[in-house]
Chain A
Amino acid sequence: MTANSRIWHLVLILAIFSAPLVIMYVYQVIDSIAQPDPGSLVPGAIDLSNWRFLWERIDTGRPSIWVVTFNTFLFASTTAFLVTSLSATAGYALSRLNMPGRPYFLGGLIILHAFPTITLIIAIFIILQFLGLFDTLLGIILVKAALELPFGVWILKGFYDTVPWEIEMAGVQDGASRLRVWWELVLPQVKPGLFALLIISFLSGWSEFVLPLVLAPGSSTQVLATFMNAVIQDDATADFGLFKAIGMFYSIPVIVIYLVFQKQLMNIYGGGTKG
Chain B
Amino acid sequence: MANLTRTTALIGALAGLATTAMAEDVTITVWAGGSNDSDSYRIEAIEIAADILEREAAIMGDELNITVEGRRDFTGWDEFKQGITLGAEAGTAPSIVVTSHLDIAPWSQAGYIVPVEDYVDLDSWPLNNIYPNLMEIASYAGTQWGIPQDAESRPFFFWRETLEAIGYSEDQIDALPDMVASGEYTLQNVLEDATKAVEMGVVEEGYGFYPRVSNGPDYAQFYQSFGGVLMDPDTGKLVLDKTAMTEFYQFFVDAVAAGVTRQNHIGTDWNQWYTEVANGRAAFWHGGTWHFGRYATEGNDDFWGTIQFSLIPAGNDAGRANTITHPLVYLVMDQEDDRVEEIAAQLIAIASEPRLNSLHAIQSNHLAVAQAQSDIDLYRGDRWASEATEVLLASATSQPNHLQYGAFSEAMFRGLEAAWSGVQTPEEAVAEVEAQMRATLGDDLIVR
Contact = CB atoms under 8 A, between A and B. Distances in A.
A and B touch in their complex, CB below 8 angstroms: yes
Given A61-B35, A236-B36, A230 B271 contact: no
Question: 4 shortest A-B CB distances, which residue pairs?
Answer: A238-B271, A235-B270, A217-B83, A134-B90
B86 A214 contact: yes
A61 B86 contact: no
B37 A61 contact: yes
A218 B92 contact: yes
Contact of B75 (A63, A125, A135, A230): A230
A49 interface: no
Contacts of B87: 134-135, 217-218
B74 A230 contact: yes
Interface residues on B, range: 20 to 34
B76 A233 contact: yes
A219 B82 contact: no
Contacts of A132: 90
Given A237-B271, A238-B271, A219 B37 contact: no
Nearest to A236: B36
Interface stretch (B65-73, B191-199, B381-389, B406-414): B65-73
Interface in A197-238: 213-215, 217-219, 222, 226, 229-230, 233-238
A97 B341 CA distance: 57
Given A61-B36, A234-B36, 9 more contacts: A59-B36, A217-B79, A219-B73, A233-B75, A233-B76, A235-B36, A235-B269, A235-B271, A236-B37
B75 A226 contact: yes
A108 to B, nearest CB: 30
Given A214-B86, A217-B86, A61 B73 contact: yes
Given A219-B71, A238-B269, A125 B79 contact: no
Given A61-B40, A135-B87, A135-B92, A213 B35 contact: no
Interface residues on A, range: 20 to 34
A235 B82 CA distance: 19
Nearest to A216: B83
B292 interface: no
Nearest to A136: B92
B89 interface: yes
Contact of A59 (B37, B75, B269): B37
A263 B91 CA distance: 47
Contacts of B271: 235, 237-238
Interface string B32-60: 00011110100000000000000000000
B90 A129 contact: yes
- By CB atoms of chain B within 10 A, which of A132, A229, A230, A236 has the most? A236
Contact of B73 (A135, A215, A230): A230
Interface string A114-154: 00000000000100110010110000000000000000000
B105 to A, nearest CB: 22
A59 B89 CA distance: 29
Interface in A226-267: 226, 229-230, 233-238
A231 to B, nearest CB: 9
